Structure 1
Amino acid sequence: MMEQLRPAELADWLIAHGPRQPLVLDVREPWELRVASVSADGFELATIPMGELPARLDELDPSRPVACLCHHGMRSLHVAAFLVQRGFACVANISGGIDAWSQERDPGVPRY
């Protein structure tokens, strides 16, 4: 099952899916990560560009809660659907992406 959540809702989602530490999967490109990145706060952060994910899928645990993040939420939506199709038990898309993250969760994250 895939959930949609806003960055402002992430803290509650993290609590609801404990005690196993959830993973935030940032699927943006390396140049985007250099422009703006999130800090892991109450979650582990992994960065795997969307195009590399099929080849690196074994780096992720299908039983662990995963919230996918990109720039505006479209790439992460596709990745979240991909993970669900591959048997991941708990997947969320962070709608609005890092752009919304900057507005709702951490204004110190640059917008681009």
Structure 2
Amino acid sequence: MQTISPETLKQRLDNGDPLVMIDVREDWEYQTCHIEGSKHVPMSQVMGQLDNLDKSAETVFICHHGMRSQQVAQYLETQGFSRVYNLEGGVDQWARTVEPDMEQY
């Protein structure tokens, strides 16, 4: 599993790179704040969504601080996903460094 910094993710999004972003936080967390363009798949539902995910796509997993998304990314690597990234510091670090107007919790 690789990691990606919020700044690098922002740069890649601005460049139009075809990244899939999956936010694994709970509903209330996602509703509070999320990165535009991210898809919400709570951690508890990821296993049921495996068939809907492209194993070859560059996929960035996101949570609050990067711990839950790291667990999901590591698990998906064992399932044959080869281009998975964990967002360093999660949405919290994204809000601090990239999108300071984002609501935080």
- Same fold at TM > 0.5: yes
Deviations 1:40-80 (A, max 9, x none): 2xxxx211000111111111110111010000000000011
Q: Which residue of 2 aligns with 1:22?
A: 19
Deviations 1:76-104 (A, max 9, x none): 00011011111112010001001001011
Identical-pair percentage: 36
Q: Aligned ranges for residues 66-85 of structure 1 at < 5 Å?
A: 66-85=59-78
User: How many equivalent pairs are there?
Assistant: 105
- Residue segments in structure 2 that go unaligned for 5+ positions in a row: none
TM-score scaled by length of structure 2 = 0.90
- Paired AA for residue 71 in structure 1: H
CA contact (8 A) 2:64 2:89 kept: yes
- Residue segments in structure 1 that go unaligned for 5+ positions in a row: none
Displacement over 3 Å in runs of 4+: 11-16
CA contact (8 A) 2:10 2:98 kept: no
Query: CA RMSD of the aligned region, Å?
Result: 1.9
Q: Which residue of 1 aligns with 2:54?
A: 61
Q: Which residue of 1 aligns with 2:32?
A: 35
Q: Which residue of 2 aligns with 1:88?
A: 81
Q: Which residue of 1 aligns with 2:5?
A: 6
Question: Following the alignment from structure 1 to structure 2, what is the Cα–Cα distance between the partners of residues 93 and 38?
Answer: 14
Question: How far did residue 11 of structure 1 move?
Answer: 3.5
Question: Following the alignment from structure 1 to structure 2, what is the Cα–Cα distance between the partners of residues 12 and 39?
Answer: 14
Match of 1:102 among 95, 101, 104: 95
- Paired AA for residue 101 in structure 1: W
TM-score scaled by length of structure 1 = 0.85
Question: Following the alignment from structure 1 to structure 2, what is the Cα–Cα distance between the partners of residues 12 and 3?
Answer: 17
